[in-house]
Structure 1
Amino acid sequence: MNIGIIGTGNIASYLLEQINQNRMASGRITAIFGRNEEAGQRLGEQFEADFYTDLQGFLKEPLDIVVEAATVEAARIYLKNVVADRKDLVVSSVGVFKDAAFLDELKTLAESSGTHIFLPSGAIGGLDVLQSAKAAGGLKRVQITTRKSPASLGLEADEEQVVFEGSAYEAVEKFPKNVNVALVLAIAGIGAEKTIVRIIVDPDVERNSHTIEAEGDFGRMQLQVENNPMPDNPKTSLLAALSILAVLQNKDHALKIGN
């Protein structure tokens, strides 16, 4: 499996190390696309991958799947080109899908191209439960409560306080770099307008945490995840990078676990 990656940041570096160096997936990252030439050339040389600043040159590589590990802005610009070129796609910047019409357009393009779009679970879990619960329309309520340090949101606070409560759509509008998890939860469940998001800042918090609650005909679920950060980037959860790696590891497995 030939893998391409869009982005030259911490997640890209982590995946290159795990896949090309540690052989943690069946395949190699053979091509990197990005705008940071210094970082891209360094990664390309270190992990023996071709670096491109031109998207068309990148897409001419014989890639089986492309991982977007850049930004929401970059994802908006490049994702359609990847799918139109009949390459499977892993989207890290799920916040790009706050525009539901863009998601629908990309899905339609993927269906006509015969390709697949993968949305990793990121820094949370429970998505399989939500998908099962809504299979026959019986998912009634979904809420995620995220607890972070004030500094992670650029705020100052001496005590715990709720800084946001509203829909996932509103949360992504207000905190576009911090609530990817809320949007992937909404896509898996009852939609961005109906999914409730609470964001709490707590000066005593040591790890970001996400508590997911759901109710429906299936019963009730409560799941809490406390995330360790990536070693080289305290703003990104290690689990977010691991979830992308898991997609690549499981993509062609004969045995599929969960839905």
Structure 2
Amino acid sequence: MNAHEDLKGKVTLITGGAGGLGIAAAKAFLEQGSKVALVDLSAEALAAAAADLGAPGDDLLTLTADVSEEDDVKAYVAAVVEKFGTIDVFFNNAGIEGKVAPLVDQDMADVDKVFAVNIRGTFLGLKYVLPVMYAQGSGSVINTSSVGGLTAGPGLGVTPYVTSKFAITGLTRLAANEAAAHGVRINSVHPSPINTQMMRRLEEGFAPGHADEARSGIADSIPLGRYAEARDIADAVLFLASDASRFITGTQLRVDGGQLS
């Protein structure tokens, strides 16, 4: 028996769908019997993700889009509705880490790119998915923030990323208040470092040539003694998507191994 039977037959849209967390979430939702649409910038990465998932075409849709471009967002939402009829769950997950450097050394083109994907992309996803959910009077949205969207931390040179994740925290809370009257719930998930390629890039940025030492130091800062695995976060997303969290909205769910305790 599946843990979340209410997700069977539901339609789940995942942005950042070809990344480690996106694929883990897709697997988790497909296991529950959901139909899944994956959105990502890279058609090649989406094709690899679809092959990895091995789901039948009737249950899986892949869409290439830039989440920071309004026309692309309109198009991916319309394509999901055309294919599956609606959107019940939206895992608003696309994000990039940007350049590791002190604030004064950040290039504004890089800063603008982080803000465009992480903030504008999250906002646009809400703008075009919420009307679909409002029309049916139900839905669950999970925005991906970070422990870096709850605390400034030690200042490791990812100020644009942390700023964007704080913005997602605020956006989640405000949007949840608006959406509640329409029967739609909106929450954010706040992972500690996840064992994905994003962290490999960050580790090298934090300690060039000594990424293994950076990884060990970060893991030591987590009371449970390890990075999160992508499935750890995906299971929390399943909970927020399901009826098990039916009275939870506007909440920031830490999935951090106790890092912020």
- More helix as a share of residues: 2
Q: TM-score, normalised by structure 2?
A: 0.45
Q: Give the structure with higher Rg (CA).
A: 1
- More strand as a share of residues: 1
Q: TM-score, normalised by structure 1?
A: 0.45
